[in-house]
């Protein structure tokens, strides 16, 4: 089996990028594109090594450091696996014990770019994309010397840059948020203002570039099978932190000024219009992932490939993607159809074990841009929204089952306490549950048009998902 190796001198790699959120997605996306960029730029490429920081996984930092920051990417094609060794991480650090600390690393003059993949919930935003000043982690960060959240770390680092009078790095948010660059800029300036430093907020707004980006690659969690496959491919060399990923790779980045790696070498596109790509991806890919994840979990289908292979759920998801989730996507109708076909093919990839419980995490931070924005547009245009109603009812049911400990997977959501309380208080009252969920403006935004009607529809579906067999409901809904 051919094994792709980094084609540059690893010992000469220097760090020019600081990354926050060293998870599997980052290691299958930005690091891979940066490796290609380093290889393509023989003169200056080596300045673009990455210092990759994790905020929550000291074990991963230790493991990567033990492996000289090298790891294996397993590109899972339906017909077989391509094995590549990735070496573009120059250093891995854990926020908790990092010296000199992430703000100082950000302010290092060699750091020209900061990238982030801390997941949608890592920004602590409300449904309208502002910093959630009431979030516990934000409250704690406002009074801490060493910030723990992404907005806190960025604000502290940029404050140092301003004080030392150097050129600020470009900040590239690589998470699935609507207008992610603009949104992150606002979260950071909100954070600076909450700390009472309006001048810093103004300086950041004026001097720091936060281009929007759209990132796309399906990257599941690493399984023991992945580790075993790597052992088989590499022989004696052991890698305890390989990353499996699908073949698809997309990175659309808003134009910005300043030095940067030649990411085009891996297919990245620079454009002045990220918004169209982003909306298509957030709604048609991520939104459809959510219906497959929640309804799949209720129907006993643990992975996305299992869920799309179910004839009824596969049909519902495809229809939801094409007819509801394409609302407001500014592609020609042929392009929407082609994009949807490509997405369904990716979802079917049997070599990707993408678990529903993982996608289901942090639903309260994902709902607004992925589901409610197109739902609202459809309702305003007088179009029906059966898929969104099923999805929201499925989410509530999924949450209620977690609350009753009837699912054997862990529940992770930044608003878990409130949502759990609603489920517990209104245990047998579907209407009260649906209404209380929908009334959480920080999740769903302002009331939907014809709010009462939609609350009743969701409650009706919730009742069916609770009292009838989920398979029967799906067959019925698939038509």
Binding site for ligand CS2 (CB under 6 A): 176, 216-218, 285-286, 289, 359
Lookup: tokens for 285: 């890919």
To ligand CS2, the closest distance from the beta carbon of 74 in angstroms equals 16
Give the nearer residue to ligand CS2 in terms of CB position, either 381 or 410.
410
Q: Distance between CA atoms of 252 and 254, rounded to whole angstroms?
A: 7
Give the nearer residue to ligand CS2 in terms of CB position, either 204 or 352.
352
To ligand CS2, the closest distance from the beta carbon of 23 in angstroms equals 10
Residue keyed to tokens 């070496």: 87
β-sheet with 250-254: strand ranges across: 213-216, 250-254, 269-271
- SS3 sequence of 37-98: HHHHCCCCHHHHEEEEEECCCHHHHHHHHHCCCCEEEEEEECCEEEEEEECCEEEEEEHHHC
To ligand CS2, the closest distance from the beta carbon of 465 in angstroms equals 21
To ligand CS2, the closest distance from the beta carbon of 287 in angstroms equals 9
Give the nearer residue to ligand CS2 in terms of CB position, either 285 or 389.
285
Residue of minimal Cβ distance to ligand CS2: 289
To ligand CS2, the closest distance from the beta carbon of 361 in angstroms equals 7
Residue keyed to tokens 């992975």: 303
Q: Which residues pair with 180 in a beta bridge?
A: none
Give the nearer residue to ligand CS2 in terms of CB position, either 51 or 349.
349
Query: Before 100, cis peptide (omega within 30)?
Result: yes
To ligand CS2, the closest distance from the beta carbon of 454 in angstroms equals 24
Give the nearer residue to ligand CS2 in terms of CB position, either 246 or 442.
246
Give the nearer residue to ligand CS2 in terms of CB position, either 185 or 370.
370
Give the nearer residue to ligand CS2 in terms of CB position, either 359 or 473.
359
Lookup: tokens for 37: 């960029």
3-class secondary structure, 222: coil
To ligand CS2, the closest distance from the beta carbon of 285 in angstroms equals 6
To ligand CS2, the closest distance from the beta carbon of 101 in angstroms equals 29
Give the nearer residue to ligand CS2 in terms of CB position, either 212 or 457.
212
Cβ burial of 418 (10 Å; 0-12, 13-18, 19+) is middle
Residues 6+ apart with CB under 8 A from 56: none
Give the nearer residue to ligand CS2 in terms of CB position, either 200 or 304.
304
To ligand CS2, the closest distance from the beta carbon of 358 in angstroms equals 6
CA distances from 240 to 63, 474, 476 (A): 7, 40, 45
Judge contact between 282 and 369, C-beta under 8 A. Answer: yes
Judge contact between 56 and 23, C-beta under 8 A. Answer: no
**Residue whose C-alpha is closest to residue 170's, from 277, 18, 38:** 18
Lookup: tokens for 457: 């529809």
Q: Distance between CA atoms of 192 and 21, rounded to whole angstroms?
A: 21
């Amino acid at each position: 089996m051919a094994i792709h190796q980094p084609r540059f001198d690893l010992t000469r790699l220097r760090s020019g990028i600081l990354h926050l959120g060293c998870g599997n997605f980052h290691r299958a996306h930005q690091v891979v594109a940066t490796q290609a960029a380093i290889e393509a730029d023989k003169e200056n490429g080596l300045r673009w090594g990455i210092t990759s920081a994790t905020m929550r996984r000291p074990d991963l930092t230790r493991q990567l450091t033990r492996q000289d920051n090298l790891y294996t990417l397993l590109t899972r094609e339906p017909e077989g696996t391509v094995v590549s060794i990735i070496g573009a991480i120059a250093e891995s650090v854990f926020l908790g014990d990092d010296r000199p600390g992430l703000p100082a690393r950000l302010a290092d003059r060699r750091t020209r770019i900061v990238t982030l993949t801390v997941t949608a919930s890592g920004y602590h935003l409300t449904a309208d994309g502002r910093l959630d000043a009431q979030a516990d982690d934000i409250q704690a960060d406002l009074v801490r010397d060493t910030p723990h959240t992404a907005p806190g770390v960025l604000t502290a680092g940029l404050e140092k840059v301003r004080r030392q009078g150097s050129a600020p790095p470009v900040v590239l948010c690589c998470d699935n948020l609507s207008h992610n660059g603009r949104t992150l800029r606002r979260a950071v300036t909100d954070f600076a203002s909450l700390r009472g430093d309006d001048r810093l907020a103004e300086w950041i707004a004026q001097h720091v570039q936060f281009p929007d980006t759209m990132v796309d690659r399906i990257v599941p969690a690493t399984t023991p099978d992945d580790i075993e496959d790597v052992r088989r491919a590499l022989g004696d060399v052991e890698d305890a932190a390989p990353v499996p990923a699908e073949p698809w790779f997309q990175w659309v980045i808003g134009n910005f000024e300043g030095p940067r790696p030649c990411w085009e070498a891996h297919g990245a596109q620079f454009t002045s219009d990220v918004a169209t790509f982003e909306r298509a991806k957030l709604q048609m890919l991520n939104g459809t992932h959510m219906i497959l994840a929640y309804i799949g979990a209720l129907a006993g289908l643990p992975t996305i490939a299992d869920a799309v292979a179910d004839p009824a759920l596969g049909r519902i998801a495809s229809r939801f993607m094409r007819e509801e989730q394409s609302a407001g996507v500014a592609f020609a109708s042929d392009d929407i159809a082609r994009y949807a076909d490509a997405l369904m093919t990716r979802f079917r990839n049997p070599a990707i074990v993408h678990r529903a419980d993982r996608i289901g995490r942090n639903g309260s931070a994902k709902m607004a841009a992925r589901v409610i924005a197109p739902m609202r547009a459809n309702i305003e245009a007088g179009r029906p929204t059966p898929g969104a109603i099923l999805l929201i009812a499925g989410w509530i049911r999924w949450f209620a089952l977690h609350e009753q400990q009837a699912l054997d997977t862990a529940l992770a959501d930044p608003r878990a306490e409130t949502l759990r309380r609603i489920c517990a208080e209104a245990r047998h009252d579907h209407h009260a549950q649906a209404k209380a969920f929908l009334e959480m403006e920080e999740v769903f935004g302002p009331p939907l048009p014809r709010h009462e009607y939609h609350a009743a529809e969701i409650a009706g579906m919730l009742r069916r998902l609770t009292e009838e067999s989920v398979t029967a409901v799906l067959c019925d809904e698939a038509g």
